[in-house]
Amino acid sequence: MPTEAKFPQGFLWGAATSAYQIEGAWNEDGKGPSIWDTFSHMPGKIRDGSNGDVACDHYHRWREDVALMKELGLKAYRFSVSWPRVLPQGRGPINPKGLDFYDRLVDALLAAGIEPFLTLYHWDLPQALQDLGGWANRDVAHYFADYAAVLVRRLGDRVRWWATHNEPWVVAWLGHGLGEHAPGLRNLKVALQVAHNLLLSHGLAVDVLRDGGKDARVGIILNLSPIHPASAKPEDVQTAQQVDGFYNRWFLDPLFRGSYPADVWALFATQGLLPHVTPGDMAQMARRVDFLGINYYTRAVVAHDPEAEFGVRYVHVEGSTYTEMGWEVYPQGLYELLVRLHREYKIPALLVTENGAAFPDAFTPEGRVHDANRKDYLRAHFLAAHRALQEGVPLLGYFVWSLLDNFEWAYGYTKRFGLIYVDFPTQRRILKDSALWYQQVIAENAVVS
Ligand code: FCB
């Protein structure tokens, strides 16, 4: 007998992308440069020496891409807006052609019956604002709110779902602490100030979006992972708590409890890393949101190790499967996370805003991509989400990362996450087997076995 995991009516099945990863047209129609243009053009920063100058050429092929979304039956599409395409200097004069691009995209999505889900910031800060100090400069939080106002004024009559930031942890730590992402700084104290300013900018933008959007549903997107100790030894357990604090709670607590987690605050204090907090900031950050978006890929298993960086060793789990990113396949972690967020933080609504896997794909002479591993990955994670739903977790939707193979940041084009294969030299798109399977899941609103 086939069993089926049926999802609630109106469940938002979607796919996600981000501007810099797919658009290309990096210097066309009046767009200003972003920190990712600068960074990717610096030798040695991107693994395959590539950049997002062309990427998936979505800026020119958006019609075709929306048609593919329609063919898949997507209920929603999560994309981000390139801030410097709309405001080349980050503030001040608007670039009308940039704004028009998103306006047309939104109209095409609605005409195809697809709900637009807009992310304001997916990492491509206008270079002009970086020249003023970037996110380390508190003024940029206010420029971000002004940018939000520009978009909601133009699109607020049609776009209902608004996310302020994508993964502020990554922006702060990979961009400013470890230097792996733009702007490439390596300063932990700056990273923490950036994290603070990002959360502040989120809160400022929430107010703006609420004022401007007719029926706006406003939220933020975090990368979250369960952090498990490698053993029951007290030092491993303590390490797991600290990593959870620094990775998950440092963002969740200000947003949903109005304060930084005391244990991590104390730890950062001993290292002289604390951010400067102005009175009123914590209340601004904790503005009510309508949803939290969760980007989930894997868990972390950690052990205490004084020799390792920050005293933390990330442990490889014997017997587990790993994706091409080196990330453990651990669907149970999604269930665990959703239940925890529901119980501990009482968040009104949750969406999985990214989940997916990179595997080394190839297309056959018949033009097929047999990515059974990706299908299995998605299936197991959909079922984990379904279990959470059955326990009363208010999960409203699920976006697969990604619609298209694309520019995977510091990895360049070496990692393919798409449901749709992109042959970059020709820009040909091919629906992978996982996409055809997903099409069926959406049509039936169920995972059938
Ligand atoms: C997330 C990013 C997204 C993509 C996936 C693989 O951290 O938000 O842009 O790179 O990872």
Residue nearest to atom 10 of ligand 1 (CA): 408
Which atom of ligand 1 is nearest the CA belonging to 18?
9
14 Cα–ligand 1 center, Å: 15
CB 247 within 8 A of CB 320: no
* Predicted confidence (pLDDT) at residue 261 exceeds the cutoff of 80: yes
Nearest atom (ligand 1) to Cα of 356: 6
* pLDDT tens per residue, range 187-224: 999 999 999 999 999 999 999 999 987 799 999 999 99
CA pair distance 335, 384, nearest whole angstrom = 5
pLDDT at 399: 99
Q: At 319, which CATH number?
A: 3.20.20.80
Q: How far apart are CA 69 and CA 55, in angstroms?
A: 18
Cα of 234 to ligand 1 centre, how many Å?
Answer: 33
**Angle between helical axes of 96-111 and 58-72 (0-180°, round to 10):** 10
56 compared with 4, residue with greater pLDDT: 56
Using pLDDT thresholds of 50, 70 and 90, give the confidence band for residue 449: confident
The one-letter code for the residue type at 93 is P
Give kind and range of the element (H or E) at residue 164.
strand 161-166
* pLDDT tens digits, one per residue of 158-198: 999 999 999 999 999 999 999 999 999 999 999 999 999 99
pLDDT band (50, 70, 90) for residue 22: very high
pLDDT of residue 2: 62
Tell me the three state secondary structure of residue 43: coil
Q: Measured in angstroms, how far is the CA atom of residue 61 from the centroid of ligand 1?
A: 22
Ligand 1 binding pocket, CB closer than 6 Å: 18, 21, 166-167, 170, 223, 295, 354, 401, 408-409, 417
Q: How far is the CA of 249 from the centre of ligand 1 (A)?
A: 20
* Residue 242: closest CA among 218, 267, 272, 220: 267
Q: In whole angstroms, what is the distance from residue 310 CA to residue 331 CA?
A: 27
Nearest atom (ligand 1) to Cα of 223: 7
| Mean pLDDT value across residues 259-266 | 98
**23, 328, 336, 354: which one is catalytic?**
354
Averaged pLDDT for residues 323-349: 98
Please choose, from the candidates 254, 432, 431, 401, the residue with its C-alpha nearest in 3D space to the C-alpha of residue 323. Answer: 401
> Which of 47, 164, 409, 414 has most ligand 1 atoms within 8 Å of its beta carbon, as the pocket-test mutant?
409
Q: Which of 23, 167, 328, 408 is catalytic?
A: 167
Residue 167 catalytic? yes
Number of structural domains the chain divides into: 1
Share of the chain above pLDDT 70, in %: 100
> What is the atom index within ligand 1 of the atom nearest the CA of 166?
8
Helix (H, G, I), strand (E, B) or coil at 94: coil
For the stretch 279-317, pLDDT in tens is: 999 999 999 999 999 999 999 999 999 999 999 999 999
Task: Specify which residues 161 forms β-bridges with.
Answer: 117, 217
Angle at 449 between CA 443 and CA 397, to 5 degrees: 45
- Whole-number Å distance between alpha carbons of 417 and 66: 18
State whether residue 419 is helix, strand or coil: coil
| Of residues 70, 62, 1, the one with CA closest to residue 442 | 70
Counting from 1 in the atom list of ligand 1, the atom nearest the Cα of 409 is: 10
Nearest to 70 by CA among 21, 14, 8: 14
Could you give the CA distance from residue 5 to residue 191 in angstroms, rounded to a whole number? 42
Distance CA 252, CA 239 (A): 19
Q: Give the chain's radius of gyration (CA, Å).
A: 21
**Residue 99: domain span:** 4-448
- Count of alpha carbons within 13 Å of 334, Cβ hemisphere only? 32
- Provide the pLDDT confidence category of residue 1 given band limits of 50, 70 and 90: low
For a substitution probing ligand 1, which of 164, 223, 351, 354 has the most ligand atoms within 8 Å of its CB? 354
The pTM assigned to this predicted structure is 0.98
- pLDDT at res. 384: 98
The pLDDT value recorded for residue 301 is: 98
